[in-house]
């Protein structure tokens, strides 16, 4: 059913692109020779920019192709610009070996988005920068229209393929890149005026550093992605030893991320909390824990004492990676309790690292919501009530109070349900870096002394 919806959306967008192309050909001013030359130049520029596209999720990609697309719209606001966008996108899609459906959609939606933007640009008095200076209002309208239509098209098709809400995805996409969209506007004007005043040669020279920076950022992003996937692989291999906690660390990392976000931590700190949560149980790879992890029932006192060592072992392993130096203390302290009754160091209150306090809640949420051979997982409302009950004892009261509000708990509950169903949240999380943002979208209680909790976690 979702595939049929996607197909209908692609057909609609493709039909819209053909209609606007026909309208510009029949009703618009015919391009001059200079405008055709500009279109040819920006087609090449567009192919190079689109070639530096990289995937930001399973469904979306980030690209800087909007720079040549909107620059050529200022130089040749007519059929020539649309054909430049169409050809550069089509060639780039072929280079990336996109499946036919994605090829058609991406080519059509970029062409349609630029066409709508040019139509409004001309309607409010905009003209080619070859004959005059760009006017602010028409230019802002061109850029805003392009981004709005582009992101709406991508959000619609991603929502259809994933079952998410179109409006929610669109708002998230718009809000997440509004600042970068605004910061990109001078670059668009810069390349349009450079071409009009200096010609293609100098414009190409000026574009090279930007493309180089973009390639560097793409490489860095790819390395970060590989490192992230290696971490996931390592954690998954460790958890394979315990059939009852498979996926535990990944879920705890997801819960920790949403908790950190809901309590207002800055983005960089959220990222580090998430990584610490992913690594919090890596010490269980030690052979001394193997027979305990395979045990289906409650732990004996001796086994329980042994399991209390796993935060220390985890911290020791994390300390071997210099990039994770700031994560050692949170990993070691993730079983500490606000009232000092935790382990291994009996830390209390603010002496417990903030990241560890977040992980402690996320860890317990997963322990309580996961069914075990000797008990069923608790309902979300019971989990919420248990967190509130342990506020000031097991958990940081400020964190516990913040996440048990109706708004915050709704977000956390959605994350828990998605994790349990193994449905990854589909987000248009577009990544930016350096001087060149890539913001155009493409479809591509149980208390601390409980032996059950320790074994489940």
Domain boundaries defined on the chain: 2-224, 240-423
| pLDDT band with cut points at 50, 70 and 90 for residue 223 | low
Between CA 371 and CA 243 the distance in angstroms is 12
Instruction: Please give the radius of gyration of the chain, using alpha carbons only, rounded to the nearest integer.
Output: 27
Q: Report CA torsion sign: 54, 265, 370, 407.
A: negative
Q: How far is CA 251 from CA 107, 130, 243, 428, 451, in A?
A: 37, 56, 15, 21, 21
| pLDDT band with cut points at 50, 70 and 90 for residue 226 | low
Of 16-30, 142-156, 362-376, the range with the lowest mean pLDDT is 362-376
Q: What 8-state DSSP symbol labels residue 299?
A: P
Q: Report CA torsion sign: 188, 194, 197, 199.
A: negative
Q: Please give the pLDDT value at position 61.
A: 52
| pLDDT band with cut points at 50, 70 and 90 for residue 246 | low
Q: Please give the pLDDT value at position 124.
A: 92
Q: What 8-state DSSP symbol labels residue 395?
A: B
- Average pLDDT across the chain, whole number: 80
Q: Please give the pLDDT value at position 452.
A: 33
Q: Does pLDDT of 12 surpass 70?
A: yes
Q: Does pLDDT of 155 surpass 50?
A: yes
Instruction: Answer for the pair 311, 344: CB distance below 8 angstroms, yes or no.
Output: yes
Q: Please give the pLDDT value at position 213.
A: 60
Q: Does pLDDT of 456 surpass 50?
A: no
Q: Does pLDDT of 25 surpass 50?
A: yes
Between CA 340 and CA 329 the distance in angstroms is 16
For the ranges 157-161, 235-239, 441-445, the one whose mean pLDDT is highest: 157-161
Over range 408-417, report the average pLDDT. 86
Q: Give the three-class secondary structure for 441.
A: strand
Q: Please give the pLDDT value at position 92.
A: 85
Between CA 259 and CA 256 the distance in angstroms is 5
Q: Does pLDDT of 434 surpass 50?
A: no
Q: Please give the pLDDT value at position 446.
A: 33
Whole-number percent of the chain with pLDDT over 70: 77
Q: How far is CA 126 from CA 130, 150, 160, 263, in A?
A: 12, 21, 36, 46
Q: Please give the pLDDT value at position 154.
A: 86
| Choice between 419 and 76, residue whose per-residue pLDDT is larger | 76
Instruction: Answer for the pair 442, 60: CB distance below 8 angstroms, yes or no.
Output: yes
Q: Does pLDDT of 228 surpass 90?
A: no
Q: Give the three-class secondary structure for 440.
A: strand
Q: Please give the pLDDT value at position 389.
A: 92
pLDDT in tens, 328-385: 999 999 999 999 999 999 999 999 999 999 999 999 998 888 876 656 778 888 889 9
Between CA 29 and CA 362 the distance in angstroms is 61
pLDDT in tens, 107-126: 999 999 999 999 999 999 88
**pTM over cut 0.75:** no
pLDDT in tens, 274-310: 999 988 888 887 777 767 666 666 777 887 888 888 8
Over range 10-35, report the average pLDDT. 92
Q: Please give the pLDDT value at position 218.
A: 60
| Choice between 174 and 57, residue whose per-residue pLDDT is larger | 174
Instruction: Answer for the pair 369, 380: CB distance below 8 angstroms, yes or no.
Output: yes
Over range 226-240, report the average pLDDT. 63
Query: If one looks up domain 240-423 in CATH, what number appears?
Result: 1.10.3210.10
Q: Please give the pLDDT value at position 448.
A: 34
Q: Please give the pLDDT value at position 375.
A: 65
Q: Please give the pLDDT value at position 34.
A: 92
For the ranges 151-165, 189-203, 353-367, the one whose mean pLDDT is highest: 353-367
Over range 435-441, report the average pLDDT. 40
Instruction: Answer for the pair 107, 83: CB distance below 8 angstroms, yes or no.
Output: no
Q: Does pLDDT of 225 surpass 60?
A: yes
Q: Does pLDDT of 45 surpass 80?
A: yes
């Amino acid at each position: 059913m979702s595939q049929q919806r996607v197909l209908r959306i692609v057909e609609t967008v493709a039909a819209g692109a053909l209609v606007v192309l026909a309208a510009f050909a029949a009703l618009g001013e015919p391009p001059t020779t200079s405008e055709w030359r500009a279109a040819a130049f920006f087609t090449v520029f567009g192919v190079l920019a689109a070639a530096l596209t990289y995937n930001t999720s399973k469904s979306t990609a980030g690209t800087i192709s909007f720079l040549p697309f909107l620059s050529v719209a200022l130089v040749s606001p007519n059929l020539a610009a649309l054909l430049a966008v169409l050809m550069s996108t089509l060639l780039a899609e072929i280079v990336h070996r996109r499946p036919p459906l994605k090829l058609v959609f991406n080519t059509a939606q970029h062409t349609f988005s630029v066409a709508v933007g040019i139509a409004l640009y001309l309607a409010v008095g905009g003209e080619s920068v070859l004959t005059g200076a760009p006017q602010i209002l028409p230019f802002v309208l061109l850029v805003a229209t392009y981004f709005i239509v582009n992101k709406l098209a991508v959000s619609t098709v991603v929502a259809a393929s994933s079952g998410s809400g179109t409006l929610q995805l669109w708002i998230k996409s718009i809000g997440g890149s509004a600042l970068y969209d605004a910061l990109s506007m001078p670059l668009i004007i810069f390349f349009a005026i450079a071409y009009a005043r200096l010609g293609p040669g100098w414009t190409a020279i000026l574009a090279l550093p930007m493309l180089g920076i973009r390639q560097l950022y793409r490489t860095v992003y790819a390395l970060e992605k590989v490192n992230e996937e290696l971490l996931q692989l390592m954690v998954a291999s460790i958890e394979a030893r315990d059939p009852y906690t498979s996926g535990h660390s990944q879920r705890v990392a997801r819960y920790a991320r949403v908790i950190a976000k809901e309590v207002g931590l800055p983005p960089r700190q959220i990222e580090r909390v998430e990584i610490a949560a992913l690594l919090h149980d890596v010490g269980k790879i030690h052979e001394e824990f193997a027979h305990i992890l395979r045990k289906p029932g409650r732990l004996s006192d001796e086994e329980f004492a042994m399991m209390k060592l796993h935060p220390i072992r985890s911290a020791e392993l994390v300390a071997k990676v210099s990039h994770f130096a700031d994560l050692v203390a949170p990993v070691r302290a993730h079983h500490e309790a606000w009232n000092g009754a935790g382990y291994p160091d009996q830390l209390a209150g603010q002496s417990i690292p903030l990241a560890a306090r977040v992980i402690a809640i996320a860890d317990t949420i997963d322990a309580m919501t996961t069914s075990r051979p000797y008990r069923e997982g608790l309902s979300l409302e019971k989990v919420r009530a248990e967190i509130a009950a342990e506020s000031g004892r097991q958990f940081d009261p400020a964190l516990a109070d913040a996440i048990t509000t109706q708004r915050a708990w709704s977000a956390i509950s959605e994350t828990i349900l998605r994790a349990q169903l193994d449905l990854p949240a589909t987000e248009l999380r577009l990544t930016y870096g350096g001087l060149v943002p890539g913001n155009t979208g493409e479809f591509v209680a149980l208390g601390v002394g409980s032996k059950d909790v320790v074994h489940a976690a």
